[in-house]
Structure 1
Amino acid sequence: MTFSAEKQADILSDLLNCRRRDLPFPAGIEATWLEEGVLQLIPRQASAALVLSAGIHGNETAPVEMLAALLASLSSGQQPLNQALLLIFGNLPALRAGKRYLHSDMNRLFGGRHRQAMPGNESRRAARLEKVTSDFFQRADAAGVLPRYHLDMHTAIRGSRFPQFALIPSHHHDYQAEFYVLLDACDLDAVVQHTAPGGTFSHFVSETFRAQSCTLELGKALPFGSNTLSRFAATDLAIRALLAGTPLPTRTQPPMRFFTVAESIIKTSSSFRLNLDAAVENFTQLPAGYAIASENGKIWRVEDAAPWILFPNARVAPGLRAGLLLKPAAARFSS
Structure 2
Amino acid sequence: MTSNADLLLDDFLAFSLKGETPSITQGTTRSGVRWTWQSHGIALFEPAHAPTHSVLASAGIHGDETAPIEMLSRLVADIANGRAPLAARMLVILGNIDAMRGGTRYINDDLNRLFSGRYKSLPQSHEAPRAAELEAQALQFFDGATHAKWHIDMHTAIRASVFEQFALLPHTGAPLARAMFDWLRDARLQAVLLHKEKSNTFVHFTAQHANALACTLELGKVRPFGENDLARFAASDAALRRLIADEALKEQAPLRVFTVVAQIDKQSEHFVLNVASDVPNFTAFPSGTELAHDGAYRYRVSHDEERIVFPNPRVKPGLRAGLMVIDTTDATFASLA
The TM-score by the shorter chain falls in which range?
A: over 0.9
Aligned pair count reads 324
**CA offsets per residue over residues 2-22 of structure 1, 9 Å max, x none?**
xxxx99873322111113445
Q: Specify the code of the residue in structure 2 equivalent to 1:167.
A: L
* CA–CA separation in structure 2 for the residues paired with 1:86 and 1:274: 39
Give the SS at the match of 1:184.
Answer: helix
Kept in 2: contact 1:53–1:152 (CA 8 A):
yes
1:3 is matched with none
Give the SS at the match of 1:88.
Answer: strand
1:225 is matched with 226
* CA–CA separation in structure 2 for the residues paired with 1:20 and 1:174: 42
* CA–CA separation in structure 2 for the residues paired with 1:28 and 1:217: 33
Kept in 1: contact 2:286–2:304 (CA 8 A):
no
2:142 is matched with 137
Give the SS at the match of 1:307.
Answer: strand
Is 1:29 matched up with 2:28?
Answer: no
* TM-aligned CA deviation for residue 28 of structure 1: 3.7
* TM-aligned CA deviation for residue 40 of structure 1: 1.0
Kept in 1: contact 2:267–2:318 (CA 8 A):
yes
**CA offsets per residue over residues 12-65 of structure 1, 9 Å max, x none?**
221111134457523543211111111111223111111000000000000000
Identify the match of residue 91 of structure 1 among 96, 99, 121: 96
Is 1:70 matched up with 2:75?
Answer: yes
Kept in 1: contact 2:193–2:257 (CA 8 A):
yes
1:207 is matched with 208
Identify the match of residue 126 of structure 1 among 117, 131, 152: 131
Give the SS at the match of 1:121.
Answer: coil
Q: Specify the code of the residue in structure 1 equivalent to 2:148.
A: P
Matches within 5 A, 1:224-303: 224-251=225-252, 255-303=254-302
Give the SS at the match of 1:93.
Answer: helix
Kept in 1: contact 2:283–2:307 (CA 8 A):
yes
* CA–CA separation in structure 2 for the residues paired with 1:307 and 1:209: 33
Kept in 2: contact 1:151–1:216 (CA 8 A):
yes
**CA offsets per residue over residues 173-223 of structure 1, 9 Å max, x none?**
233211110010111010000011111101111111111101110010110
1:149 is matched with 150
2:329 is matched with 330
2:43 is matched with 39
TM-score by length of 1: 0.92
* CA–CA separation in structure 1 for the residues paired with 2:171 and 2:101: 32
Question: Bigger CA drift: 110-119 or 69-78?
Answer: 110-119
Identify the match of residue 122 of structure 2 among 111, 114, 117: 117
* CA–CA separation in structure 1 for the residues paired with 2:222 and 2:102: 14
* TM-aligned CA deviation for residue 224 of structure 1: 0.3
* CA–CA separation in structure 2 for the residues paired with 1:36 and 1:81: 22
* TM-aligned CA deviation for residue 303 of structure 1: 2.1
Kept in 2: contact 1:104–1:118 (CA 8 A):
no
TM-score by length of 2: 0.92
* CA–CA separation in structure 2 for the residues paired with 1:9 and 1:45: 25
Shift in CA distance, 197/306, structure 1 to aligned 2, threshold 3 Å: farther
Kept in 2: contact 1:33–1:40 (CA 8 A):
yes
Gaps of 5+ in 2: 1-6
Identity, % of aligned positions: 40
Gaps of 5+ in 1: 1-5
Q: Specify the code of the residue in structure 1 equivalent to 2:44.
A: Q
**CA offsets per residue over residues 118-159 of structure 1, 9 Å max, x none?**
5233111000000010011115x2xx3x11110110000000
RMSD: 1.9
Give the SS at the match of 1:286.
Answer: strand
* CA–CA separation in structure 1 for the residues paired with 2:308 and 2:191: 13
Give the SS at the match of 1:132.
Answer: helix
Kept in 2: contact 1:262–1:306 (CA 8 A):
no
